[in-house]
Homo-oligomer: A and B are copies of this chain.
């Protein structure tokens, strides 16, 4: 109960701070962000010292090398965080925008304007830069934030969050605009999920287990992304060189992320030329391929795919491949297995491109481009707080706009309802 009391106090402090922050102008919020950039630069030694403690604990615990690498903060990575803060300063203010405005016949003037959401809880795993990303994006959009990072990065996150909070104070905003939960106990997450009185939104950033825990244990609205089971369909008319380039990029450029392709579907008429070309490119980068029966007729040396492969988010250098009779079979396969994040068609057939865009019900649907572009930065939205596969409030890359709500302002001159 001590943990719950402490989390409650922080959540309440965040909510109270959010009321002040909501009235702070663009300049004040940008001033706080500039203070944050400055504080990270000036205190890089202190940040790296905190990070060393996390690294030592991680090594002692025998964390995998990949995880240790994600945990590590170097001077260059701290400078990247500073640069990302300056990038957030440069983004246009998402608040106070008039989304629409009109006058009614009785003379009342209605406008729908963007306002902060309020207090946002962000629950995330290992990478410490999320502390800075989430904190700065929430602040830019006028929201107080309650951060809860992974236990591996506790010292790094705590040091960063403290600098963010002090920067708010230095800029004349409440330090409570950025709150950090330093308790690594899972009970702290469960406590956060109960703070419907104070938190207006929960953003979980992590694996399937975290997403499920959040969904099942809170009445607070959430913005999440589940899995990224991404498909590319190579149509009969596809340019083989283009298809090869796109599939290779979507699989190899960074296989461990949600917008990387997991299943390749190839039209039977394209298969005899496309399959050997694509596989040659993938083999050069050591991608393991698991093919359907017809795939293995063309490329007998690849492993056979089982039913589980169609449902697998590998997040690794593995690709499932299926040859289909036509686009409709590809569409049906995608309907059945897609996680709704990103799908692409490679085609030179106009009507097929249009139909694919119309029919595929995913957050981002591509013609002739790599699914790796499903990313706030690549979309040109600035930094992102995640990629939503929900259909409510936000879908696809979530940037500043998705961290705002709206309210209606109505100006009258004494009108009443008849």
Q: Please list the residues of chain A having a beta carbon within 8 angstroms of any beta carbon in chain B.
A: 19, 22-23, 102, 104, 108, 110, 112, 115, 117-118, 200-201, 215-216, 219, 221, 223, 239, 242, 245-246, 248-250, 253, 335, 353, 357-359, 361-370, 372-374, 378-380, 390-393, 395-396, 405-417
Chain B residues lying within 8 Å of A410, measured Cβ to Cβ, are: 364-367, 369, 373
Question: How far apart are the CA atoms of A23 and B372 in the complex, in Å?
Answer: 27
Question: How far apart are the CA atoms of A246 and B416 in the complex, in Å?
Answer: 6
Query: Who on chain B is nearest to A362 by CB?
Result: B407
Cβ-neighbour of A412 out of B22, B358, B367 (below 8 A): B367
* A118 in contact with B23 (CB, 8 Å): no
Give chain B nearest CB distance to A150 CB in angstroms. 23
A-B contact pairs, 12 of them (CB 8 A): A108-B369, A117-B391, A201-B392, A221-B391, A357-B409, A365-B408, A365-B410, A367-B411, A367-B412, A392-B393, A392-B405, A396-B406
Known: A23-B358, A364-B408, A365-B407. A416 touches B372 (CB 8 A): yes
Chain B residues lying within 8 Å of A23, measured Cβ to Cβ, are: 358-359
Chain B residues lying within 8 Å of A335, measured Cβ to Cβ, are: 19
* A370 in contact with B215 (CB, 8 Å): no
Question: How far apart are the CA atoms of A405 and B378 in the complex, in Å?
Answer: 22
Chain B residues lying within 8 Å of A249, measured Cβ to Cβ, are: 416-417
Question: How far apart are the CA atoms of A253 and B418 in the complex, in Å?
Answer: 8
Question: How far apart are the CA atoms of A417 and B253 in the complex, in Å?
Answer: 8
* A253 in contact with B357 (CB, 8 Å): no
Give chain B nearest CB distance to A225 CB in angstroms. 14
* A407 in contact with B253 (CB, 8 Å): no
Cβ-neighbour of A406 out of B379, B395, B408, B417 (below 8 A): B395
Q: 12 new A-B pairs (CB below 8 Å) besides A110-B379, A201-B392? A: A104-B380, A115-B361, A117-B392, A118-B361, A200-B391, A242-B414, A246-B414, A368-B413, A373-B417, A378-B417, A392-B405, A395-B406
* A405 in contact with B395 (CB, 8 Å): yes
* B373 in contact with A108 (CB, 8 Å): yes
Chain B residues lying within 8 Å of A361, measured Cβ to Cβ, are: 19, 22, 115, 118, 407
Give chain B nearest CB distance to A63 CB in angstroms. 28
Chain B residues lying within 8 Å of A215, measured Cβ to Cβ, are: 219
* B117 in contact with A380 (CB, 8 Å): no
